[in-house]
Structure 1
Amino acid sequence: MKIEAMTWMQVEAYLQHDDRCVLPLGSTEQHGYLSLAVDNILPERLAEEVAGPLGVPVFPTLNYGVTPYFRAYPGSVTLRVQTYLSVIRDVLDSLYEQGFRRILLVNGHGGNSPAQGFAGEWSADHPGAQVLFHNWWNAPRTWQEVQRIDPVASHASWMENFPWTRLPGVELPQMQKPMTDLDRLRLLSPAQLRQTLGDGNYGGLYQRSDEDMLALWAVAVGETTELLERGWALATPDPAGGQT
């Protein structure tokens, strides 16, 4: 359930019997012919679909991430790594202080990877707390489904083109873009990257059928649900006396 639909009293009551919550991590950046908010839309929707049936609170998505390489694309906003990790720390500290102990970070942007290492560090410094960092798109079963559908998949290609990330009136190219040399991209300045990459798609088709996309989404929902239900290393004592 979305935290925006709860009062503080309801959250306090929830914490009497459960200590899980979900925090989606995103980024506002170019995605070719798709929404600039793709990396926010997808983890937020996934978190809501997974946590809603379980009654687990979902906090608002952190809509800005680490994406310095896309600075030459208008509408792309980046945080410095130090700033980003400071924000993550402050949010986790707040949740811990209030009683949340099992926190699932559903990440929608590869550039946010510094938070993955930080999550382990933070957990080590907070006994009894567990933070799971989940890159939803390349989790084992989800990535296997991507490869089954079409192994030529990347940033801003078909694999991020869901009915809810498309924009009305935007016509997509009917072609398969050759894959970009990712190792070379990492060496380029933002301006050079834009010149090399062009429209923003790293490589692959721009769109596949809704049937393919909904099949991929179903796998992602199932895999993330299992993580939220059973991905914790230790059972956490229930205030009522049992185990959760």
Structure 2
Amino acid sequence: MRIQDMNWAQVEARVAQDDRCVLPIGSVEQHAYLSLATDMILAERVSVEAAEPLGVPVFPCLPFGMAAGFTAYPGTISLKLRTYLAVIEDMLDSVHRAGFRRILIVNGHGGNAPVNPLIGEWLNDHRDASVKLHDWWRAPNTMAKVLEIDPAASHASWMENFPWTRLEGAPVPDFSKERIDFSAVSRVDAGRKRTRIAEGNYHGVFQRPDAEMLAIWQVGVAETRHEIEHGWH
């Protein structure tokens, strides 16, 4: 259930019966020929579909994350580390204040990894709560399905090309890109990264059949739902 479809009194009544909620987090950054909001779109959608049969509230996705390496691509928005962690902490404080004690953060962007140690610190100050960070796209079952279909899967490649992340009229190249030199990319600034990454795909083909993508999606939704239902203690 989307939190925007509830009012405050409904949230108060709900949390008295069930103290679970979902906080999706994403990023607005280059994804080659896909939407700049790919990470945000996927994190929120997988959260909503996973939580819907359980009636667990899902907050709107935090769209912006840490994407310093992509700032040379127009449209990318990147928060500084200290800013981002402060925002996540404020979000956790807010839902805790509302009565939520089991909080699942569904992450759609690898660059948001520093959230993990913050959660540990926050939990030390909120010993009545439980927080899980779920990187939905690389969770074990979902990533196993991805690799079963095509091991050449990466940022902005076919593995993020769903019907709801592609753009009408945007070209989709029909070739398999060679793997970028990750070591060379990691040691330079955003401008030189753009030169070395080019359109943005790290490696692999740009699109695969929708039937394969929907099969991955079904696994991702089921795995996210399992996180909402289990493993809180």
Q: Give TM-score scaled by structure 1 length.
A: 0.94
One-letter identity of the residue aligned with 1:14: R
Q: Find the counterpart in structure 1 of residue 57 from structure 2.
A: 57
Cα distance in 2 for residues equivalent to 1:202 and 1:116: 25
Q: Find the counterpart in structure 2 of residue 239 from structure 1.
A: none
Task: Name the SS of the counterpart of 1:15 in structure 2.
Answer: helix
One-letter identity of the residue aligned with 1:136: W
Identity %: 54
Cα distance in 1 for residues equivalent to 2:214 and 2:67: 28
Deviations along 1:129-185, one digit per CA (max 9) or x if unpaired, are 011001011101111111100000000000000000010011200000001122321
Deviations along 1:21-45, one digit per CA (max 9) or x if unpaired, are 0000000000000000000000000
Cα distance in 2 for residues equivalent to 1:179 and 1:69: 17
One-letter identity of the residue aligned with 2:209: S
Does residue 151 of the first structure (1) align with residue 142 of the second (2)? no
Cα distance in 2 for residues equivalent to 1:50 and 1:146: 19
Q: Find the counterpart in structure 2 of residue 88 from structure 1.
A: 88
Cα distance in 2 for residues equivalent to 1:146 and 1:184: 26
Q: Find the counterpart in structure 2 of residue 242 from structure 1.
A: none
Does residue 141 of the first structure (1) align with residue 144 of the second (2)? no
Cα distance in 2 for residues equivalent to 1:183 and 1:17: 50
Q: How many residues align?
A: 233
Task: Name the SS of the counterpart of 1:117 in structure 2.
Answer: helix
Q: Give TM-score scaled by structure 2 length.
A: 0.99
Q: Which consecutive aligned stretches of 4+ in structure 1 deviate over 3 angstroms post-superposition? A: none
One-letter identity of the residue aligned with 1:41: I
Cα deviation for residue 117 of structure 1 reads 1.6
Cα distance in 2 for residues equivalent to 1:218 and 1:125: 36
Deviations along 1:41-97, one digit per CA (max 9) or x if unpaired, are 000000000111100000111000000000100000000000000000011011111
Deviations along 1:185-235, one digit per CA (max 9) or x if unpaired, are 1111100000001000011000000011001001111111111101212xx
Does residue 163 of the first structure (1) align with residue 160 of the second (2)? no
Q: Find the counterpart in structure 1 of residue 227 from structure 2.
A: 227
Task: Name the SS of the counterpart of 2:24 in structure 1.
Answer: strand
Task: Name the SS of the counterpart of 1:172 in structure 2.
Answer: coil
Q: Find the counterpart in structure 2 of residue 117 from structure 1.
A: 117
Aligned-residue CA RMSD in angstroms?
0.7
One-letter identity of the residue aligned with 1:76: T
Structure 1 gap ranges (5+) = 234-244
One-letter identity of the residue aligned with 1:224: T
Task: Name the SS of the counterpart of 2:119 in structure 1.
Answer: helix
Q: Find the counterpart in structure 2 of residue 128 from structure 1.
A: 128
Q: Find the counterpart in structure 2 of residue 203 from structure 1.
A: 203
Cα distance in 1 for residues equivalent to 2:123 and 2:217: 29
Higher alpha-carbon deviation: 178-187 or 9-18: 178-187
Q: Find the counterpart in structure 2 of residue 236 from structure 1.
A: none
